[in-house]
Chain A
């Protein structure tokens, strides 16, 4: 699994490291130092002068060998002059078993990736081979990189030497260089463990484990359990740490300072680690302050590289389709002209998206093929517009009313809630693998009649839609059974005909809300599926789970259309962008990624959370993203610039629900701490100055104004808030399961 994720990343690495080294004045030296242990013989093959290629070659070799292409192996080895590598490779035989399994799985996944991304130009045959080989390497080769040696007893000396140095440098550099501590610590510890120096490793951990930043606690806890080489192989967390280079952003001055120090001391051990396992993103300009660094760090693999967030994202909204408003509408004047009444409305609710002219940031209308609007959808749109004219304008002086739906007698079993967009239905997912649907309006839920009965209906009659419903089945709630494990999320389709549910059993199920039966079970995630979400236009949906990938599906395909791989840990939440062209995913690796639905690329990586991300919300205009995590903080992101623009502190427990009001003026957050909090999002977005410099460097100074932005805190008695929803008129609905103790 880990292997797959690295596929797309690897190419980036190669692209990016090259200029980095070249731009560096002393690239020769650093390059040599990096390759020091891996190869002493000069490398001539393939016309690739980079050290990375050597690993690639080994990878290819291994791949060939595994596929019993012994002749090719011979030839390649001769040409590459890699005789001496052979022995070191055999050492990894023990890891082969696991490698094979992973590799196999990886291959199958990858083939799908290559199918789905066949349109993308980069997936020609050769890179795929290389990639695949690389992936097989991950487990064994990547670990074998640790086999390099140093005196285990000196590790403490090295580390404390560096520590002393960093503590003695000027204040402005200290904060930046302190970032090195954690990755170095982990890598040195792993090296010790890998080389069977268990006691040294423990001593090392005891001595320096306490120095690490508090937000790495969780990882350290995993780390401290690891004391044996055998443990390393099965532990995905650490494999990730190895396969993905830890990214640090350091100013040029600080970097030079560090390099000089390490060279003076001939501290090769540390230098090797920095060269091999870390990616140092050097920037020109002022070193960052401690708070600036802290706000961005905390993720599993360091900060996002600046290049990653440079891709243009079309965050504008799509043009609304024109809908002819029927004449008999009592609200509208008898103007027969198309679009005219609508135009009037758009002025009222002042949402730029609906204006006639195209939003410059919007994607092309047909960038992603969207389903055609049906008649019923058009009717719904008209309803929506009518409702939105009655919408309350929210603001700091005009807070929304909150209606709280408590699930009684759920015995702590409520795991997920969703409302339909028009707030007429409510679905709850439960730990006992059922999904229940309630009608929150007086209108009862009815099934469609059976086929035999439907035959008897007069299909020409005007009220045929009424007649097909079976009155006998009318009830306020329905139970959907089918999953074989706790249901972790539910999501209504925008047209209210379908419901998605994802479960521990590894499936996503599509239910019909006409017949209240299961239509499809989408199998693909073999592990628990934590979240699923329908596209705002229907048809597509996205799911994410324990297998660390998010998948894009279409309701009429039983296989995924895209696989978004890159997260280093479980994908915990998934959300569609309002224009349906992008998907945001939050993960246990404490990052948020934005993926392009068109080509499956990762276009944004947001780091800064200090705990698993459990909720995401796009602002209605598509420009901003809010995310909440277990650390009780809400972070706000500017998608266009790829910047963190706000931090909302106040909650004391995991935030499971986030929602912007319909006009985006208020952000509501709901948490395990039994509160709903309202935040002034307009102010939060306006306060941030996004001049060119901050946009270019990404060094944002976050104003600490959570208290000013907090508009209200509403405690429930003993009900954690699981879901929040703004009705079309901006009434806030909250839901959660009452827990008696």
Chain B
């Protein structure tokens, strides 16, 4: 600690080599080792002394940074001529050089051509000192104006987010909140909630997250718009950035609410298709959500009947699209995603659902990926499928899973094989090459070749039109009964008893007024539920007026504000 530091300070003296180098620089050729030692001790002591004096000047100059000027003044105190020429504010232009086994820092003095200096245009005159007044506090309350810092300091946000259950001291609460004069009673409620707003991005066992009034409002609007019946509204809504998205995905994954997940994925799609949005900043939130929808072990309550496969396909396509759009050399999304999928695929214990997702995800990434990563695994996967198909009676779920994986593999591989493999399609040869799946693959390849020759048009996969001849995204609450070719209905009736909208009151243990809150409970058991209570309109208006999003970065804050305002406009 501090003591250690001091002891280190105690032993610090300049190395004798420096003395030698300095002596050489002033023309003293050979310096005795003893003299070097004596010199370095003396010089170190003097330097420390000067530094201590310079610190005084720093303190009285009311700065935190020691400047070269301070050292000049300290030298002046000691009746030493100050060092002229070091006026550089930011850095001291030392150059480093080594050679002949020695290392050296030196000050590079370039020859300066005066005419250059004379001919260069004059730099802009720095602005003169000016005075600006603002209210730091009005009757003991700090107003929320741009001159004042955000009401909740970063440290507190951090503690709030990591320890949401920590009780807020009454005094702190008062300081931390913003509240403008004359807002009266309703602002007090806002104050209470805004002081405890927490980010919802983290899913921790046994912790209670509370949504602020604004977030509740926004959540409600978004949900209504997405799930509700008005397509126009959905378009407006979906066009807005949605940071609550991941949260919803998580909640719904845990709830196994397939219908909503599908809609959420469609929302992502809408977001991605919107060219005016810059989603790069939100990828870290979007991608995990999408990947979850691809590879999750369970996405619906009845995996044997529900068509969660379609969701996986759709999400995989989304993933591919985002890879294509956003992958850069710095974020490396594609390779990271590929790695994730491959790892899961190579694992023997992976369940069929996840396996399906992995293959789908990989397959969507393009022909090269299929060729290099999937086709070599065909025989292995074939054996696995065979074991399920031909083996002793196993669970129905496994069988369905294997079936889906098989058709998926066939579908994707066929087109690739058709392109890469030389023409004679011999079934036996296929069998040798691809094992169990060889036979079927052969017939698919033949079909594919015929189709390609016939249609000679390629399917644009990235812009996902629903008319493609593949399992379309559709909502099917009751099994696989939906016809695979039909377009998904655009109006979906969501049961009003959806848990998301239950009107049970908030948990009474919450210290703040429950009437203005969503409380999202996430427990270790994985069950999650949201409670919602309608908010008084006045409170909403107030909250929109003095929005606070301490948990979010400033930019996001702005966008969210505009969103809330948009929504309010829409409402009215």
Q: What residue in chain B is nearest A405 (Cβ atoms)?
A: B133
Q: What residue in chain B is nearest A733 (Cβ atoms)?
A: B133
CB distance from B392 to the nearest CB of A (A): 71
Is A530 on the interface with B (CB-CB < 8 A)? yes
- Cα A707 to Cα B126 with chains together (Å): 44
> B77: which A residues are within 8 A, CB to CB?
527-528, 546
Q: A210-B3, A530-B60 are in contact. Are A224 and B133 (CB under 8 A)?
A: no
- Cα A236 to Cα B383 with chains together (Å): 89
Contact partner of A224 (CB less than 8 A), chosen from B10, B126, B131, is B10
CB distance from A664 to the nearest CB of B (A): 18
- Cα A222 to Cα B9 with chains together (Å): 10
Q: What residue in chain B is nearest A211 (Cβ atoms)?
A: B3
> B130: which A residues are within 8 A, CB to CB?
407-409
CB distance from B74 to the nearest CB of A (A): 10
> A226: which B residues are within 8 A, CB to CB?
45
Q: What residue in chain B is nearest A417 (Cβ atoms)?
A: B62
Q: What residue in chain B is nearest A486 (Cβ atoms)?
A: B61
Complex contact B149–A414 (CB within 8 A): no
Complex contact B6–A224 (CB within 8 A): yes
> B56: which A residues are within 8 A, CB to CB?
546, 570, 588
Mark contacts of A415-430 with chain B using CB atoms, 8 A cut-off: 1 yes-contact digit, 0 otherwise.
1100000000010101
A266-304 residues with Cβ-Cβ distance < 8 A to B are none
- Cα A196 to Cα B84 with chains together (Å): 37
A563-602 residues with Cβ-Cβ distance < 8 A to B are 570, 572, 588
- Cα A431 to Cα B65 with chains together (Å): 14
Complex contact A399–B140 (CB within 8 A): yes
- Cα A410 to Cα B147 with chains together (Å): 17
CB distance from B441 to the nearest CB of A (A): 64
Complex contact B171–A707 (CB within 8 A): yes
Complex contact A404–B133 (CB within 8 A): yes
From A132-140, A619-627, A691-699, A710-718, the one touching the partner chain is: A710-718
CB distance from B432 to the nearest CB of A (A): 69
A524-571 residues with Cβ-Cβ distance < 8 A to B are 527-528, 530, 546, 570
Complex contact A401–B45 (CB within 8 A): no
Complex contact B149–A221 (CB within 8 A): no
Interface of A is mostly: mixed
Q: Please classify how large the interface on chain A is, using the bins under 10, 10 to 19, 20 to 34, 35 or more.
A: 35 or more
CB distance from A421 to the nearest CB of B (A): 19
Complex contact B135–A401 (CB within 8 A): yes
Is A176 on the interface with B (CB-CB < 8 A)? no
- Cα A412 to Cα B44 with chains together (Å): 29
> A720: which B residues are within 8 A, CB to CB?
62
Complex contact A224–B134 (CB within 8 A): no
Most chain A CB within a 10 A radius of its CB, from B10, B44, B69: B10
Contact partner of B136 (CB less than 8 A), chosen from A402, A407, A488, A672, is A402
Is B412 on the interface with A (CB-CB < 8 A)? no
Complex contact B63–A412 (CB within 8 A): yes
Is A309 on the interface with B (CB-CB < 8 A)? no
Mark contacts of A492-511 with chain B using CB atoms, 8 A cut-off: 1 yes-contact digit, 0 otherwise.
00000000000010000000
Complex contact A713–B175 (CB within 8 A): yes
Complex contact A225–B129 (CB within 8 A): no
> A588: which B residues are within 8 A, CB to CB?
56
- Cα A402 to Cα B136 with chains together (Å): 5
- Cα A398 to Cα B60 with chains together (Å): 34
Q: A206-B10, A214-B2, A406-B131 are in contact. Are A710 and B59 (CB under 8 A)?
A: no
Q: A407-B129, A411-B126, A412-B63 are in contact. Are A504 and B73 (CB under 8 A)?
A: yes
Q: What residue in chain A is nearest B53 (Cβ atoms)?
A: A546
Is A630 on the interface with B (CB-CB < 8 A)? yes
- Cα A456 to Cα B135 with chains together (Å): 46
Can you identify 8 A-B contacts, CB atoms within 8 angstroms? Answer: A221-B9, A224-B6, A400-B140, A408-B131, A409-B130, A428-B129, A431-B69, A630-B59
Known pairs A228-B41, A485-B73, A546-B77; list 19 more (Cβ under 8 Å): A205-B10, A206-B7, A217-B2, A227-B45, A400-B137, A403-B133, A408-B132, A409-B126, A410-B129, A412-B65, A414-B62, A430-B129, A431-B61, A527-B77, A630-B59, A678-B140, A717-B147, A717-B148, A720-B62
Residues of B within 8 A of A (CB): 2-4, 6-7, 9-10, 41-42, 44-45, 48-49, 52, 56-57, 59-65, 69, 73, 77, 126-140, 142, 147-149, 153, 171, 175
Residues of A within 8 A of B (CB): 202, 205-206, 209-210, 214, 217, 220-222, 224-228, 231, 235, 398-416, 426, 428, 430-431, 436, 438, 440, 477, 485-486, 488, 504, 527-528, 530, 546, 570, 572, 588, 612, 614, 630, 654, 656, 672, 676, 678, 707, 710-717, 720, 722, 732, 734, 737
